[in-house]
Amino acid sequence: MTTPVTVRAPQPSGDYPLLSVQDLRVRFATEDGPVFAVNGVSFDLRAGEIIALVGESGCGKSVTAMAVPGLLAPTATVTGRVLLAGRDLLELTPKELRAVRGKEISFVFQEPMTSLNPAFTVGKQIREVLQRHEGLSKKAAQARAVELLQLVRIPAPERRVDEYPHQLSGGMRQRVMIAIAVACGPKVLVADEPTTALDVTIQAGVLDILRDLRDELGTAIVLITHDLGVVADLADRVVVMYAGRPVEQAEVHELFAHPQHPYTNGLLGAVPHREQGVELVAGRRLAEIPGLVPALRSDPDECVFAPRCSRRTDVCTSRRPPLEPVRPGHPAACFHPGEAS
């Protein structure tokens, strides 16, 4: 970002976790009984850090991402703690939460077209968040909107600010969503597959913007992605999720160099790339693992990956593997951890 911006940066907070998610659990009530969507996810995020949540479809990534800023439907029961700068978001009233969301913690979702209002100009939609949270005048908010479009590298921002969403490409719309999300200088941004719906050629631009936000504003980012190249490129730490449970967590280099859980090994595939540490090619998807993610109708006291696991023994179906360090700073929930041979 070479252009000067007036977006307020969160203050660096040293080693203090900006966001601390502790034993997050989400259960949905449905007509067919409960769904145990997230079962005990914990992670800390410091200013300027990016943590990636990875796992196949249906593993509870989006539910985790939505639970953090309190966006789940009322059918969800959420327990645990979500401490944002020490304050538990799960304890806030809906009104208090609305004041925090968009200002201290923001989110960007996969499909930008459904999140933007087709009836209003881009400028009006950016102004709305600035006027609501910062009490800016219309004129000041419009000027800030142009700066924000510049921040997310939208060419000719003075013109674009008066356009409607349908006049923009998918990549541009996603940039507008990011501009709205960061308009008030949030400490934390939750980005759920922000590039999945975009063409490969424009994904990189959106990811560069996330990197800029992290590097220049110190924004901490919870990034959900299927793309291991993106993880290798952007993330500092990784949480691997399977069937609603965290199965392995580590710093990105450690995880790619020494994956311990058979699920992680499966995702990474039989990778010669691993020889080169994290030198993965962007666009590389999670490897296919035979079998399906189980329906989350229960939270059983056994390893949920056992039915698909080549290392399975009796212990795996007799009790739940604890998420405990297998290497320094590197927990995995497996009775038979280790790198694939």
Ligand X SMILES: Nc1ncnc2c1ncn2[C@@H]1O[C@H](COP(=O)(O)OP(=O)(O)O)[C@@H](O)[C@H]1O
Please tell me whether residue 174 binds Mg ion under the rule CB under 5 A: no
Choose between 62 and 265: whose C-beta lies nearer to ligand X: 62
Choose between 61 and 214: whose C-beta lies nearer to Mg ion: 61
Please tell me whether residue 37 binds ligand X under the rule CB under 6 A: yes
Place of tokens 């309190």: 70
Please tell me whether residue 164 binds ligand X under the rule CB under 6 A: no
- Report d(CA 168, CA 122) in Å as an integer: 10
Choose between 35 and 234: whose C-beta lies nearer to ligand X: 35
- Of 63, 22, 20, 59, the closest CA to residue 40 belongs to 22
The encoded tokens of residue 244 equal 């609603």
Choose between 293 and 332: whose C-beta lies nearer to ligand X: 293
Choose between 62 and 260: whose C-beta lies nearer to Mg ion: 62
Choose between 62 and 106: whose C-beta lies nearer to ligand X: 62
Least gap, CB of 269 to ligand X (angstroms):
19
Find the binder of ligand X among 20, 39, 62, 125 (CB under 6 A). Answer: 62
Site track for Mg ion across 26-65, x = CB under 5 A: -----------------------------------xx---
The encoded tokens of residue 197 equal 């719906």
Choose between 65 and 278: whose C-beta lies nearer to ligand X: 65
Distance of CA 192 to the CA centre of its chain: 5
* Measured CA angle at 113 (ends 153, 207), to 5 deg: 35
Strands 237-242 and 50-54: parallel
Least gap, CB of 251 to ligand X (angstroms):
22
Find the binder of ligand X among 6, 11, 30, 317 (CB under 6 A). Answer: 30
- 265-271 long-range contacts (CB < 8 A, ≥24 apart) are 265/339, 265/340, 266/308, 267/54, 267/55, 267/56, 267/228, 267/240, 268/228, 270/340
Please tell me whether residue 28 binds ligand X under the rule CB under 6 A: yes
Please tell me whether residue 323 binds ligand X under the rule CB under 6 A: no
Which H helix or E strand runs over 175?
helix 170-182
Least gap, CB of 241 to ligand X (angstroms):
7
CB neighbours (10 Å) of residue 251? 14
39: left (phi over 0), alpha (psi -120 to 50) or beta: beta
Instruction: Tell me the residue ranges of DSSP E strands in the chain.
Output: 19-30, 33-45, 50-54, 76-84, 87-88, 105-108, 188-192, 220-224, 237-242, 245-251, 324-327, 330-332
Interface size with Mg ion, residues (CB under 5 A): 2
Least gap, CB of 136 to Mg ion (angstroms):
33
Return the range that interacts with ligand X (CB under 6 A); candidates 61-69, 95-103, 123-131, 301-309: 61-69
- Which spans of this chain sit near ligand X (rule: CB under 6 A)? 28, 30, 35, 37, 55, 57-63, 73, 75, 296
Q: Which residues bind Mg ion (CB under 5 A)?
A: 61-62
